[in-house]
Amino acid sequence: MTAVRSWWWGWTVGLAATAWAQWNPAQGLWGKTAPTDIRVMTWNIEDGICSTASKQEQDNYDWCALAHIVAALRPDILLLQEAGDNSGHGTGSGVDSQSVLLHTIDLFLHGGTDIYSPGQPPVTAFVQQYAPDYDLPYVWVSVETDNYNRNVILSRFPFRDLNGDTRSVYSDIPTVFADLYAPGGDGGIRGFQLAEIDLDDAVYCGDLVVGNGHLHASDANARLVAAQNIAYVLDYWYNGADAGYPDPRNRIYDNPPATAILDEFTPIVAGGDLNEDELTNGRRGPADWITQAATSGGNDGTDRDRSDMTYDDARHPYNNSRNTTSSAKRDYLCWQDSIAALRLAFNFHTAYMPVSWLPPEVLSYASPSQASTHASDHRPVVIDLALPMIASGDCGGPCAGFTLGDANADGIVNAFDIDAFVLALTNPSGYIAQYGQQAYLCQCDISGDGAVNAFDIDPFVQLLTGG
């Protein structure tokens, strides 16, 4: 076994920079550790995506810089705030309509003819120009607007009704009638949009719900009112507040009404520009309320088990800054940690790292180190979440009773599994003959992508080393 193990470790080192080392910022690699993780990114884009923006490959253009960075970070779910606002582009034409912004986002992702610019030139700066194999084909543009901008949710996965009220997307949370800690009302001045997302049933045990908002910038009380209403909806409408059915106190106006709560494997991720730094605000702010509801550490939290959800402490990988603006953290992502496990959390700003750290999609920008500054006055916040997966036996079914990474089936994940794992990689039929087809998939498909291949090596190493 020693010789085989030595060969295998050497082989993994040789593959580190290619097949499976996707997260190594010092080497310009900013991808996910495991391909089945769900990457969620929130970004206040400061008017950079709107119909009158210049859509050309040119230095110092916000649209162009935004496209390079989205292509580099490749979120599975992208939450945008301040989209559709044309006032920053010298036109004074106000906010794009829902349909115009939807078409504009299509140009941002895929290119095409810029029908909103004089002469209708071709779009030369767009996401697939820099990442041809990447796409976010499902887009929900909110109808809610403050007459300046809109919220947008983009997804790699389709939208699907998960709670039985016939809708999969909402421009704002349902209206709450005052109850308990909820003052009543909705998600505030720009709304708090929601999307119910259908994940791959062959990979994940459940699905996903995401929320996105831009809370009031100048009215601190309005921010709390919105956050308290949002917390109430997450707990009582989506999770049922331990009752097993939605809206047990009959205080949420949803027409037609929801008929089911989310299942035990479907987490909620909520985020956006919450406009308040929880470390410096001197009170319980919006992120606290959305994740904890009335009692911090109590049993009325917004996680599915009514514990508290978690909000990010994302840091810049190079300088460890948590700020998402020039001086504070205002942008957050919150998730139900009883269902979804955090793998990575970071914010991204090109000016605060060496050029050698920049991903290739950003290096192709005319001024790579200034890409973030040109794109927006906010930094994007990114989290990678590991969700319950079928291959891991998280939801029972065919992998129940198997231990992920226990390639030799002795009940323990340790160095004695290396030979069997190498056999599964190099001679699948030989492994299946010895251990069985179910063990092959349930014990050796570490990444959970439905296949046993080089992408399983990195997570297998993490299992062996305690990761």
pLDDT value of position 467: 55
Domain co-membership, 58 together with 142? yes
Do 214 and 289 sit in the same domain of this protein?
yes
Judge if 8 and 72 occupy the same domain. no
Does 211 lie in the same domain as 107?
Answer: yes
Residue 344 shares a structural domain with residue 398:
no
Residue 32, domain member (yes or no): no
Q: Are residues 344 and 416 in the same domain?
A: no
Domain end call among 361, 386, 411:
386
Q: What is the pLDDT of residue 62?
A: 97
Residues 124 and 212 in one domain: yes
* Same domain, residue pair 330 and 359: yes
Q: 366 and 313 in one domain?
A: yes
Residue 110 lies in a domain: yes
Q: Can you give the pLDDT at residue 91? A: 65
Q: What is the CATH number of the domain that holds 282?
A: 3.60.10.10
Q: Which two tokens stand for residue 212?
A: 């996105």
Report the alpha-carbon distance of residue 324 to residue 330 in Å, rounded: 6
Q: Same structural domain for residues 344 and 402?
A: no
Q: Which of 265-291 are b and which e, b meaning 16 or more Cβ less than 10 Å from the residue's Cβ?
A: bbbbbbbbbbbbbbeebeeebbbbbbb
Do 246 and 372 fall within a single domain?
A: yes
Number of domains, the chain: 2
Give residue 95's pLDDT: 95
Q: Using alpha carbons, list the distances in angstroms from residue 104 to 136, 139, 217.
A: 14, 11, 26
In a domain, 27, yes or no: no
Does any domain span residue 24?
Answer: no
Q: What is the dihedral of CA 398, 401, 406, 409, to 10 degrees?
A: -100
State residue 156's pLDDT score.
98
Domain annotation covers residue 154: yes
Average pLDDT per block of 10 residues along the chain, 467 residues long: 45 41 90 94 97 95 97 98 88 87 98 97 98 98 95 98 98 98 97 98 95 97 98 98 97 97 98 98 98 96 97 98 97 98 97 98 98 98 95 79 88 90 94 90 85 90 78
Alpha-carbon distances of 405 from 22, 113, 431, 441, 442, rounded to whole Å: 20, 50, 14, 10, 8
Cα separation, 265 vs 128, whole angstroms = 32
Look at residue 392 in the predicted model and tell me its pLDDT: 78
CA geometry: angle at 50 spanning 47 and 54, to 5°?
95
Domain end (from 346, 365, 386): 386
225 and 258 part of one domain: yes
Q: Among the three residues 359, 386, 413, which one is the final residue of a domain in this structure?
A: 386
22 in any annotated domain: no
What are residue 393's phi and psi, to 5 degrees? 75, 15
Is 109 a member of any domain? yes
| C-alpha 151: how far from chain center | 15
pLDDT of residue 263: 96
Domain with 198 in it? 37-386
pLDDT at 396: 79
Q: Which residues pair with 95 in a beta bridge?
A: 85
Q: Which DSSP category does 241 fall into?
A: G
Q: Are 98 and 150 in contact (CB under 8 A)?
A: yes
On whether the CB atoms of residues 81 and 272 are closer than 8 A, the answer is yes
Those residues whose C-beta lies under 8 Å from the C-beta of residue 263, and which sit 6 or more positions away, are: 206, 207
Q: Is residue 30 in a domain?
A: no
